[in-house]
Amino acid sequence: MEECRKFYINGEWVDPVTPNDCDVINPATEEAVGVISLGTAADVDKAVAAAKAAFPSYSQTSREERMALLGKIMEVYQSRYDDIAKAITMEMGAPAWLSNAAQAAMGLAHFGTTLEILKNYEFEEDRGATHLVKEPVGVCGFITPWNWPINQIVCKVAPALAAGCTMVLKPSEVAPLNAYLFAQVLDEAGVPKGVFNLVNGDGPGVGAALSAHPDVDMMSFTGSTRAGVLVAKAAADTVKRVAQELGGKSANIILDDADFQTAIAGGVSGVMMNSGQSCNAPTRMLVPADRQDEAIAIAKEAAAGVKAGDPNAEGVTIGPVVSEVQFNKIQDLIQKGIDEGATLVAGGTGRPDGLNKGYYVRPTVFANVTNDMTVAREEIFGPVLSILPYKNEEEAIAIANDTVYGLSGYVSSGNLDRAKKVAGQLRTGNVHLNGAGADVNAPFGGYKQSGNGREWGVDGFEEFLEIKAMMGYTAA
C-alpha cells in the first residue's frame, strides 16, 4: 500500500486540515494499492495562499533561471521515470509497454518542448511608440484527469513554470499516485517554495473551491464536458481565465480511394489503445456505404487481434478501464448500441473470455450505426468503435460535423490534396491525415463543447501569459 495522505504545500509535505482517507484501486485486481486523503476548501486556501505569496518573486525570475529549473526537473524526472510508469500502470491500468513508451514519456516530451520554446520566446516587442510585454498570468489552478495523467499534469505545469506562474494542482483522485511522485520530482529539483502545490481531493471538495477561489487568476481543466461546465460556472464570479480540454467523439473518414486495410486496421487500433480512454480517439469510423462489408471484415479481424489482459503481462494490447464506475457506464452503452439496432461485429457486454476479475471490457465494434444512435452521440470512453456508412464525401463531412464535440478528426485518402480539402471542412481543433500521429509542438484543443484554449507547444505556453501595453514607451 502506497500511503500518500499528505499534501505538498509551500515546499513541504503537510497533513490535511481534516483527514479523509480514500483508497486508490488497481483496476486490474480491484484491490486497494494506495491511500490518499481527500482535501477540503481549507486545504485549498493554504495552497493558494502559498502560491500567491510566491508569485511576486518567482514571476520576476529570469529566462535563464527558469530554463535551468526546467532542465533540472527533466533530469530528476528521468531518474524517477520507471517509478512513474509503474504507478500509472498500477493505478489506471495502462499496459506496462504503453506506460513506458507513451504515458510517462509524454511528461518528458512536454518539458523538452517547453524548454525549447522558452529559449527563444519573444516576451517584449515595440509597436510604434507602444511597448508590449507578455507577463505571467498569475496563480493557476489545475484540475487533471486519470486517463493520461502525467501527460495532462505536465502539459499544464511545464508552460506555467516557464511563463513565471505559480500553481495549485488537483490531480484525479482515481489515479493520484503519479502526481505524488511528480511533486517529489519538483521538490528534489529545487522548485522554489510555494511555486508548485499539490492538494488531492474530489471535484466537490477541492475542484470547486479551487475554481471559485478569488486569488486564483486562471483555471486549466481537463476532463468531461459536464465537469468542465461546472468549473466554468464556479470560475465565472471572479472573471478568471478558464482553459478547458473536454470531451470528444472524433470522426475517422475513410475515403473511397484510401488503403482500406491500413486505414481501417489503424482506426481500430487508435480506438482500442489505452482501452479507449482517450478524448481524441477516432470512435466514429465513416466508410463508403457500398464498401461497408469490406470495412466490417477488416475491422472484425483487427478487433480479434486486440488482447485484453494483465497490464504487466507480455503480449497484452489493452488493460482494464480505470474503475468500476467506468466499467458499468461502458457496459450500459454497449447494451444500448445493441438495443438501438446497431450490428454487433465484435465484442459486446461482459468481460473478455478468461478474465473473471478486473474492469476489463471486450474490444467492441458496431456497424450499420446511424449518427442519431447513442453510441454515435455519447463519448463512451472505452474500447468501442462505431462504423457509420455514408453515400458521398459531402455526407461524410456532414456526419462528421454533426456532433456537439470538435476535438479531433481523421481523414484517410490515397490523394493527399483530397484529404486536405476534407480536413479543411471539419469543425475540429485537430485533424490527422493518413494516420499521422500527435505532434507535441502543435496546439491541442477543440471546437464547440470540446473546450476552449489550447495546450502543447507555443500556443499552450501563451495561455499562461497576459499582455501589457505601455504607450509612449519609445520615441515614435
As beta bridge partners, residue 433 has 411
Structural fold of domain 2-246+450-470: Aldehyde Dehydrogenase; Chain A, domain 1 (3.40.605)
Please give the share of the chain, as a percent, with pLDDT higher than 90.
99
Can you tell me the mean pLDDT for 260-282?
98
Q: How far apart are CA 282 and CA 287, in angstroms?
A: 13
Torsions phi, psi of 149, nearest 5? -65, -55
CB neighbour list of residue 324: distance below 8 Å, 6 or more residues apart: 25, 30, 359
Phi-psi region of 368 (alpha: psi -120 to 50; beta: other; left: phi over 0): left
Question: Nearest-CA neighbor of 24 among 89, 101, 100?
Answer: 89
pLDDT digits (tens, 9 = 90+) for 126-148: 999 999 999 999 999 999 999 99
Residue 132's pLDDT is 97
Q: How far apart are CA 452 and CA 459, in angstroms?
A: 12
Residues counted in the chain:
476
Please give the share of the chain, as a percent, with pLDDT higher than 70.
100
Q: How far apart are CA 36 and CA 170, in angstroms?
A: 12
Residue 77's pLDDT is 98
CATH code at 251-439: 3.40.309.10
| 245 a catalytic residue | yes
**Residue 27 one-letter amino acid:** P
Contact 156, 464 (CB under 8 A): no
Q: How far apart are CA 361 and CA 358, in angstroms?
A: 9
pLDDT digits (tens, 9 = 90+) for 230-255: 999 999 999 999 999 999 999 999 99
Residue 476 clears pLDDT 70, i.e. is over it: no
pLDDT digits (tens, 9 = 90+) for 333-388: 999 999 999 999 999 999 999 999 999 999 999 999 999 999 999 999 999 999 99
Question: Nearest-CA neighbor of 252 among 363, 399, 367, 374?
Answer: 399
Q: How far apart are CA 306 and CA 294, in angstroms?
A: 19
Q: How far apart are CA 391 and CA 399, in angstroms?
A: 11
Can you tell me the mean pLDDT for 150-167?
98
Residue 303 clears pLDDT 60, i.e. is over it: yes
Catalytic residue among 4, 173, 279, 379: 279
Q: Do domains 2-246+450-470 and 251-439 have the same CATH topology?
A: no
Can you tell me the mean pLDDT for 307-329?
98
Residue 474's pLDDT is 84
Q: DSSP assignment of 149-194, as one string? A: HHHHHHHHHHHHHHHT-EEEEE--SSS-HHHHHHHHHHHHHTPPTT
Contact 26, 355 (CB under 8 A): no
Query: How far from 245 is each of 171, 216, 226, 325, CA to CA, in Å?
Result: 15, 19, 12, 22
Q: DSSP assignment of 227-259, as one string? A: HHHHHHHHHHTTT-EEEEE-----EEEE-TTS-
**Residue 301 one-letter amino acid:** E
Catalytic residue among 245, 379, 455, 463: 245
Q: How far apart are CA 428 and CA 252, in angstroms?
A: 12
Contact 457, 471 (CB under 8 A): no
Residue 118 clears pLDDT 90, i.e. is over it: yes
The beta strands (E) that lie in 277-342 are given as 284-288
Q: What pTM does this model have?
A: 0.97
pLDDT digits (tens, 9 = 90+) for 178-224: 999 999 999 999 999 999 999 999 999 999 999 999 999 999 999 99
User: What are the extents of the domains in the chain?
Assistant: 2-246+450-470, 251-439
- Of 13-22, 87-96, 273-282, 466-475, the poorest mean pLDDT is in 466-475
Residue 1's pLDDT is 85
Residue 161's pLDDT is 98
Contact 321, 335 (CB under 8 A): no
Can you tell me the mean pLDDT for 441-450?
98
Q: How far apart are CA 461 and CA 188, in angstroms?
A: 24
